[in-house]
Chain A
Amino acid sequence: MSEPLAPQHGPQPDEIAQEPPATPAARLARWQDAGGVLVPVATGIFAFLIGGVVIAATGHNPIQAYWDIIKGAGFNWLAHPWNTDVATTAAYNFSQTLLQTTSLILCGLAVAFAFRCGLFNIGGNGQYLVGLICANWIGVSFVNMARPAHILLGIAVAAAAGAAWAAIAGFLKATVGAHEVITTIMLNWIAYWIGNYVFLQGGPLQAPKNVPLDVPISADVVPGAQLPVFWGIPALQGLHIGFFIAIGALVVFWIVLNRTTLGYEVRAVGYNPDAAAYGGIKVRTNYIRAMAISGAFAGLAGGIDMLGYLHHFGTIDVQATSIGFLGIAVALLGRNTALGTGIAALLFGGLVYGTTHGLQSGVIDPSLAGHLTEIIQGLVVLFVGADVLILAVWNSRRKLRRQGRVAESGQPKPETAS
């Protein structure tokens, strides 16, 4: 007895899987398996859907809430982009979203670059803080320096500090095999307490003149070290040229990975360290170097945030900083690619700014509004981590359906042939 079944796209035996895909459909399937755009898009949609369920559970209309977030993030400005006047709410909101996007791109790249070398850099937040602290130190010192030189120095020192901070984890991994997840988390705490120390009363960076001594806050970066603002008003957190640095970093990331021998080594080590070593690549050197480059991106984020719009920082700000962690979600959703990271950063940038400014406390519980970003961030990390699981569930469902079909067609009782 034969079961007329449609060709199944189930798991294939090895001997078939090794054949080159012969049809466009097979190629499409393989491309999706390899992590095409569909997976991250589905992940994002899933995360937002469940976020919507959370909103609905609090008794609000999720569609209204998301619309408010979109408007709060200024995405409606894209409908009439010729009006760049920040006096209009949409344009102002969008400039603020881009401000968030700027640091998220760099924090996302920090995670993505390490990932491409097979390392999970959880330490973006610490590297960001170290960069930010150094930029504040440079920005309040060297008062008489020429502006371009002062800015360049601040940015360079911030990136170098982030690189050095992350390289510690890379060095420990390369020499004693300490796992980078553990070491970067520890380095986050060290950076956190350094931040608390330097801005605390009497700390080296606490402002002695500008503010009363009992405020744990730094002095402002001098105007000569502040990044020029190109959209909006500097006093109102205008969008600074750091935005272009972030866009440039995306391009550099792509070029380094795909067009340099350094990137070739990073990818080889990330995919298969044994084969890389066999190929003559120094795997340990690559771990240290990739972590350093990774940390440079995060340190750069801290540096341009400080010189771009924060200008000063306090212990409370240190304690509230979590943008480095958001970088993990950005990189994961962006599949560790340049373009993906850019898009994911814009999405999260809108979410960060939109939830804090778009949702009115009368409509949505303010505590929920503030945490919605974090809920969605958590869901994204969960779903990205679980996409293997989702695929497995998907496959087993298909198998069940197949068995169900067999059961429906009656128990396969042995019949006498001929």
Chain B
Amino acid sequence: MEAATVLEMRGITKRFPGVVADDRVDFELRPGEVHALLGENGAGKSTLMNILYGLYKPDEGEIALKGSRVSFASAKDAIDSGIGMVHQHFMLIPVMSVAENIVLEVEPTKAGVLLDYDAAVEQVRDISTRFGLVVDPNAKVEDISVGQQQRVEILKALYRGAEILILDEPTAVLTPQEAGELFSIIKSLQADGTSIIFISHKLNEVLEIADRITVLRRGKRIDTIPREGATEDGLARMMVGRDVLLRVDKPPANPGDVVLEVKGLNVQDERGLAVVRDVTFSVRAGEIVGIAGVEGNGQSELIETITGLRHADTGEISVGGRRITHATARRMLDAGVGHIPEDRQRLGLVLEFSIAENIALHDYPFPPNSRWGWLFPRRLAQRARELIKEFDIRGGGPQTSASSLSGGNQQKLVAAREVARDPKVLIAAQPTRGLDVGAIEYLHRRLVEERDEGRAILLVSLELDEALSLSDRILVMYEGRIVAEHGATANEEQIGLEMLGGRRKEPAPA
């Protein structure tokens, strides 16, 4: 067979106890193409790529590289055959330099045993110029940005002679600007003849970068289509198996009284550095106020302070007209602040607890959940059953532990608990992070519904698209300050600049 394909996977089947992760999946990759692998969480994308990378053995099916059948016993075999993979979580050693990380395990040596560091730096420089991936070989990995760490991972694969590069959800950790840079890197690699498999569940990215798109759903390949003619709606339907409402369809806001008011708030972190600086804003009943910003610009600390998990230095917080600065988490809950935290597994849920116990996390001390310190598990279960039904939480009953739910259902569980408490203010921090299209659609719709019920909603999102499409007003946060405010029709490019501390082109409205 002529090498019209560099890689062909045929009839790949992989079973795990109780689940068929991949069911007779075919996949082929042409030389120099970017081939996107699209599917919801659990569709079998990562399993398929882990098989290609030698981490799993397929139960059935075969793999051919440049027309020759291969079988990998480990990732090392795959690497030796010219396959490189950049995982979602980087496998770098933070305290070592960029060059040391790249040459690790295939180091140039002096006298057979000693690392020839200068040669390593030289080789890394060479390869980074050749592919146009700029990194400082001498910098320590822990000191460089996430986007640069990703470049180091890509260089690591190229250094080992990768001709096929697998990128597993590469933009999940990047800012919009970094993602843009990644895309130009992908294009230059492609021009150089590298074939790239791009795993994603983000439709717009796939349409921007891919030549062809293969959609997986529940372990089955649905179709492989060229980018030309593909649409977001069409791809979403293939992914989910039904029509999906992608754009948030919301009527204009009908704001009422100010419910949450923050005035001149200053917060320091554990090291005494100012992380929230002189922040003033308010959220009215019936509106969604979005906070846009790159991760680590004080959004998390701002929310922790409003919810009573962090101490404010100066400033005021009022809920429903009552000043309750320096309140405890309990007091804030009782004052009507609901909080969907950004990290549902660390903060939002006790994973070992059952669904019923998690739903009672705020209200366990009150009737009807308990009386005189006596807990009523049957009441907890009954309440859980109601919310499971209302919020369509799938994957278990009241006694199922939260850890066994999928990410989307865990998030629904958190949202169910917070919304069902009937809060005056609902703070949603990255409510759709890591979720698939179906769950995102649900949560977006729900947030708009809650807004129309008259709640004040404060939304923090690192996804500018999300912040823009949901919010009635947008605040941009940079280095702990609110640097700009925009109405419902905001300019995405302008906000992107402001998120990076760029100069304002127009004065922000007061």
Contacts and interface: CB of A to CB of B under 8 A. Distances in A.
Given A1-B62, A275-B347, A406-B57, A261 B370 contact: yes
A67 interface: no
Nearest to A20: B395
A199 to B, nearest CB: 40
Contact of A264 (B59, B348, B352, B364): B364
Contacts of B365: 261
B61 to A, nearest CB: 6
Chain A interface size band reads 35 or more
Residue of B17, B71, B330, B347 with most chain A CB atoms under a 10 A cut-off: B17
A267 B353 CA distance: 9
Contact of B406 (A12, A19, A275): A19
A7 interface: yes
Contacts of A262: 373
Contacts, number: 165
A219 B334 CA distance: 56
Contact of B16 (A4, A16, A261, A418): A16
A9 B64 CA distance: 26
A418 B364 CA distance: 66
Given A16-B42, A20-B395, A30-B404, A272 B69 contact: no
A23 B74 CA distance: 29
B374 A264 contact: no
Given A13-B50, A20-B404, A274 B347 contact: yes
A367 interface: no
B309 A25 contact: no
B309 A277 contact: yes
Nearest to B65: A414
Contact of B347 (A23, A278, A414): A278
Interface string B85-101: 00000000000000000
Contacts of A268: 350, 353, 361
B375 A264 contact: yes
Contacts of B360: 264
Nearest to A275: B350
A412 interface: yes
A13 B46 contact: yes
B375 A279 contact: no
B386 interface: no
Interface string A39-59: 000000000000000000000
Interface string B50-93: 10000001111110110111111110010000000000000000
A260 B372 CA distance: 9
B19 to A, nearest CB: 5
B73 A414 contact: no
Contacts of A258: 375, 377
A116 B309 CA distance: 23
B1 interface: yes
A278 B18 contact: no
B57 A261 contact: no
B68 A417 contact: yes
Nearest to B329: A280
B47 interface: yes
A22 B365 CA distance: 35
Contacts of B45: 15
Interface of A: 1-5, 7-9, 12-16, 18-23, 25-26, 29-30, 258-264, 267-268, 271-272, 274-280, 282, 402-403, 406-407, 412, 414-418
19 contacts: A3-B57, A3-B71, A5-B57, A7-B15, A7-B17, A7-B59, A8-B57, A15-B46, A16-B21, A30-B404, A261-B370, A261-B373, A271-B351, A271-B353, A272-B346, A275-B347, A278-B329, A280-B328, A416-B69
Given A15-B21, A415-B69, 4 more contacts: A16-B47, A274-B346, A278-B309, A403-B73
